[in-house]
Structure 1
Amino acid sequence: MPPVPDNHIHTSADNWFDNQRVDHFNTSDTRTYKQRYFLNDKYYKTGGPVFLEVYGEGEANDYYITSGAIAEYANRFNALLVNLEHRYYGQSVPTEDLSVENLRYLTVEQALKDTEQFVGYLNKKLSLNHNNTKWIAFGVSYAGNLVAYLREKYPHAVAGSVASSAPVDVPYDYNQYFVAVSKSLGTECSNQVRLAVNQLEDQLRTPEGWQSMAKELNLCAPLNGTDKLSVNLLMFTLTAPFGSAAQYNGLRNFLGVAQVCAVMTNGKDVWTPLQRYAKVVGQYFKGGCLPVDYSQQIQLFRNVEKTAPLVLAGVRQWYYQMCSQIGYFWTTDQTDTPFGHNIPIDYYLNLCADVYGKQFTREYMKKSVDRFNSNYGGFKPNVTNVVFPNGAVDPYHELSIVKDLNNSTRAILMKTTGHGSDIFPTQFTDPRELTDARLAIQKQIQLYKLSL
């Protein structure tokens, strides 16, 4: 889910589906948990549809159903707005802790069944069945996948879905991610990144170089360049400003491509490429130090308590989903990338095994991803009544649907926007193509609302 503005204040009360099942697929397991959701009935009129925002890998809030484009659509269609927090994120954790044994209930299949059951629950609770109420599901990124899969697996639950920036073709090793980032940055900017990373890789060869990197990049501790996994961690962390610039392209809290590349391409006669690179990194991390101790990071990942920092942030849960089912590992495992070659798939293989157990082998993860794509269809999901908006600057659009699949499943590709741009509130500065995309989405919603 794209970022929520820092000044957003919750305006809706928490609501709870008290009897959501922990395991939908084991009839002998009768355990239930409380799943959180938010409601906004400001625009609702009897007989109107329900617009369901499905949340993904983070704590839910009411921002997008009170301030986002979804709320604008609701105003037009007299819709009831509701969003549902994903199991294991935020306050919807069904188990005492997040041990590996308990995380086995964190799957796409369980999350989809949660949503289908929630639709039935709210229909009954609010007596919506009597009005033959139509539900339209909205989701962004991973949650965009979920709402597309919801139409595929439970078409009776929702009449249609808006799957924004949904990377439905799930890769085990997404080694094209940084290629796509480079393309979005442009030739000159990417070349400057390449020169800076070349300097870093030269420094990695000597203890003197490690000391220079610690000072230039504000590392949290001295770097041991012989610790391969710590080097991998650092080099992965250093890609964050550039990946997020391409992915979100200036959305709300993030630096955009223009801002990042202005730093990388200006002042060549004053600063080296590495100095400019370090300036971008400093701006992105707001002066904070960068982690360089792989073993220390692993210890943070291993904390299973609900109040642990990486649990509250959803990081432990999301990496478990990647390791166990959906991959999406960003690597530099290709012949040419401006980001060097120090983020291999082996880094993630080690992380998955070190955090979640030795059963997470290369073979296990490859088979899991292959099984997932076979089950949900990859680039060819068996769906109707889904619209797929994407921004071409976003590297993830290359894993999404960018051409119409059938008469009711449409693709919208915006050339200059990033990840999830269509779900934010309308602004007078929006490019014309974004305005046109929202109008096209409204048209599809109208069709889905009238469908049988």
Structure 2
Amino acid sequence: MNIKVLFLLAGLLAVASGMVREGWFETRVDHFNPRNQDTFSMRYYANDEHAYRNGPIFVIVGGDWAIDLRYLTEGLFYDVAYLEGAFLFANEHRYFGHSLPFEDAMTYHLDFLTVDQALADLAEWISYLKTTVVENPNAKVVLLGYGHGGTLANYFHQSYPHLSNGVWVSSGPAEAALTLPSFFEVLGENIGTHGSRDCYNTIFSGFLVAQNLIALGQSDVLTELFHLCEPLDTENPLEATAFLLGLQTDIQREILHLRNTNSTSNMCEQIEGSDTDNSLHALNVWFAREHQFEECVELSFSDYLAPFVELDFETEHLQNGHRQRLYVQCTAGGLFPTSDSLYQPFGSQITIDFYVEVCREAFGDWIDEDFIRRQIQSINVRYGGRQPRIENAHFTHGSLDPLIGSGILEDVSDSAFATITPNTFFAPDLESIDEELDSPELIASKELTRTLIDVWIFKDFEPIHGEA
């Protein structure tokens, strides 16, 4: 069974058992225009099974996906909430899941899908939780965010320091950038280290051969070899890049989906066991096995673009956040993975030009490279990139997470720490401490987070003294 389905079922069971309760918070569509008083309902969930009456508030900051209930009932944050007698809450990011300001995702309806609006949602909601839900305006607040939720948690703690006392950011990008060449570099390092150098070289050579065939106009060869649904238009750079990016994405998905190095080892064993000296054929044997139940493989530009141009929030693609996530990339965060670096095995044709055209096709001609650069500069100026002025923070990363290149990897102050756990992937420290399965480095990272949260909660705590 798909691991996401298991997490969803676990969340539904938690809701059904009464441990987790759903809530809705009415918030402004536009927090910064007093003439616009329109509102929408933001979904959130709460778990107070271990909360003391005057206990702290733990908030799992919603990221660019529908709300995830898993860590309201298990994991390290839940464990610490039990120890601290904390209330646990999780919110859903505007425009994702069922927290929808508008009925459809037309481009002009996405105007309010911004970092600042999302942070203002959080600010008003957390204030509401303190005063109305837990009825303790002085409650200490600790934030957890991972992925884009980690980015927002970091920015929120800087922007609204009076509303949060500490923040734990797991695999959260901090510095916006137009491109992220290190994304492919980390994948390549994983292949060479946990697969083999021969596997790395086969993929490296296979992509170069594919690019050469594209340059020579050998459309028929590639169309037949990879069993494409539509003939590859080698004269169109967008079509050629979409094809190469499709191959790369398949490899990336295989490496990352289980979040352990066995996936890479198994993939490389299959590629190396293809019994051919032709690198492109060896790559294709593995690729064909991945797509063996499909009549043909869709790797055209229109196929790549399809998830980003749908407008109905009820469709699978928008429920998974594809269009919304791209909009944030195109208007704020960037971080488009490109093959500009020599230290990766995926050729050289996946460039920023492709992604800019995707943004234009999805949202309009008002987006170009200069626009994206200006937006990125604005974000970094306001929030400090990798050198934020921040206190009471723990930034954690797995060394094999391709997003690590945009994260905070070194301590930034005497109360804001960074920890990298070797040989781990995205957000490796969210689970409970496992003395048998966790590496010593991972246990140390989790224990530091647990200690820091305790410090943040009891910092400036003054005990009640009895009369002498």
On whether the aligned pair clears a TM of 0.5, the verdict is: yes
* Alignment: residue pair count: 445
CA-to-aligned-CA distance 1:176-200 (integer Å, 9 cap, x gap)? 3212322232244322210121232
Distance 1:6 1:167 in 2: 26
Q: Does 1:260 align with 2:267?
A: yes
Out of 131, 138, 146, the position equivalent to 2:144 is 138
CA contact (8 A) 2:360 2:366 kept: yes
Paired residues for 1:3-402 under 5 Å: 5-8=4-7, 9=9, 10=12, 11-12=14-15, 15-129=22-136, 132-186=138-192, 187-205=197-215, 209-244=218-253, 248=256, 250-251=258-259, 256-264=263-271, 266-267=272-273, 269-270=275-276, 272-281=278-287, 287-288=293-294, 290-298=297-305, 300-335=307-342, 337-402=344-409
Q: Matches of 2:3 and 2:407 in 1, distance apart? A: 23
Tell me if structure 2 keeps the 8 A contact 1:168–1:379: yes
Q: Is the 8 Å Cα contact of residues 39 and 82 (structure 1) preserved in structure 2?
A: yes
Gapped runs of 5+ residues in structure 2? 461-468
Aligned-residue CA RMSD in angstroms?
Answer: 2.4
Deviation at 1:361, TM superposition (A): 1.0
**Residue 436 of structure 1 aligns with which residue?**
444
How far apart are the structure 2 equivalents of 1:426 and 1:262? 32
268-277 vs 399-408, greater mean Cα deviation: 268-277
Q: Which runs of 5+ in 1 are unaligned?
A: none
Shift of 1:16: 3.2
TM-aligned CA deviation for residue 39 of structure 1: 1.3
Aligned 8 A contact 1:161 1:387 in 2: yes
Task: State, as a whole percentage, how many aligned pairs show the same letter.
Answer: 25
CA–CA distance in structure 2, aligned partners of residues 390 and 299 of structure 1: 32
1:297 Cα deviation from its structure 2 partner: 4.3
TM-score by length of 1: 0.91
Q: What does residue 410 of structure 1 align with?
A: 417
Deviation at 1:104, TM superposition (A): 0.8
| Paired letter, 2:318 | V
The 2-side partners of 1:201 and 1:422 are apart by 39
Instruction: Flag the 1:20–1:295 CA change in 2: closer, same or farther, 3 A.
Output: same
Task: Quote the Cα distance in structure 2 between the aligned partners of 1:412 and 1:179.
Answer: 20
Is the 2:24–2:44 Cα contact (8 Å) retained in structure 1? yes
Task: Tell me the CA shift for residue 244 of structure 1.
Answer: 4.3
- Code of the residue aligned with 1:182 in structure 2: it is G
**For the Cα contact (< 8 Å) 1:329–1:348, is it kept in 2?**
yes
Matched residue type, 1:104: D
Task: Check conservation: 1:4, 1:63, Cα contact below 8 A.
Answer: no
Distance in 2 (alpha carbons) for counterparts of 1:337 and 1:66: 39
| Paired residues of 2:171 and 2:426 also in contact (CA < 8 A) | yes
The farther-off stretch of 143-152 and 69-78 is 69-78
The superposition leaves residues 216-263 of structure 1 with CA deviations (integer Å, 9 ceiling, x where unpaired) of: 4343333222222122112112212443466x47328x9733333333
Cα 1:282–1:55 shift into 2, 3 Å: farther
Between stretches 287-296 and 411-420, larger displacement belongs to: 287-296
TM-score by length of 2: 0.88
The alpha carbon displacement at 1:44 in A equals 1.9
Question: What code does the residue aligned with 1:7 have?
Answer: L
Q: What displacement does 1:143 show?
A: 1.1
**CA offset digits 1:3-44 (Å, max 9, x no partner):** 954323122266233311111111111111010111122222
Deviates more, 1:24-33 or 1:4-13: 4-13
Give the 3-state SS of the residue equivalent to 2:429 in structure 1.
Answer: helix
Kindly provide the amino acid, as one letter, of the partner of residue 37 in structure 1: Y
